[in-house]
Amino acid sequence: MSMTGQHTFGLVAAFTALRKDLVHDEGPHISTMRNYRFAIVPYRPEEEFALRDHVRKLTHDLIGSGFVVLPISLQKLLLERVRAMGPEVVQRIVAMERATHARSPERGLEYLRSKLDPLIEGPDGIAADCSRLITDHARRHPEQADRMLAILGRAGAIYPFFRYSALLKHLDGRTANVPVVLLYPGERRDEGLSFMGIEPPHGDYRPRIYP
């Protein structure tokens, strides 16, 4: 089997197992810990479009089973936070990043990181936006508390600023117990998960990793 075929099979296995656990007779079972309902679906970055097809099919199947599904784009949340800074601030940041990058690409990236990290990291970063969307979602559909799912995607679009472990840490206890699945561009290694297949593997094994 080709490497592409192997990767595609991995996505099929992951989403088959995920769907089975979500539609469990006793409610979603994506974690062995009752109060920690997070799971991760890793995929290779070049499989982005294949992944979206699987997400669409899963969403369609779940809705047919009476679920309410909330898709959340991490890229969109970051862009909303950047726009909220105002056009003049954004223009100054862009101009400074370009000037710094011209002298040193590494310093340009670090400058940009210094401006974006506060928007992304910590309990008041993107985790707060995700928490707000998920808890609002749960409040609007109280009758479907056991038939609800949030899917966090487009993490690769905010590389190299995003850290999934920090996001899940700050989401813990702030999702109204709604199951949350993070679509993770990267690869699984013995030591853990490598974001984008570039970053050192991270060994946080609390979330269920599919398949």
Query: Which residues of the chain have a pLDDT value below 70?
Result: 1-9, 204-205
pLDDT at position 170 is 92
pLDDT digits (tens, 9 = 90+) for 67-95: 999 999 999 999 999 999 999 999 999 99
- Beta-bridge mates of residue 153: 73
The 10 Å CB-count burial string (b at 16+, else e) for 28-50 is bbbbeeeebbbbbbbbbeebeeb
Within 10 angstroms of residue 210's Cβ, the number of other Cβ atoms is 20
pLDDT at position 22 is 92
pLDDT at position 5 is 47
List, as one string, the DSSP characters of 21-47. HHT-TTS--S-SSTT--EEEEEE-GGG
Place of tokens 């995700």: 130
pLDDT at position 111 is 92
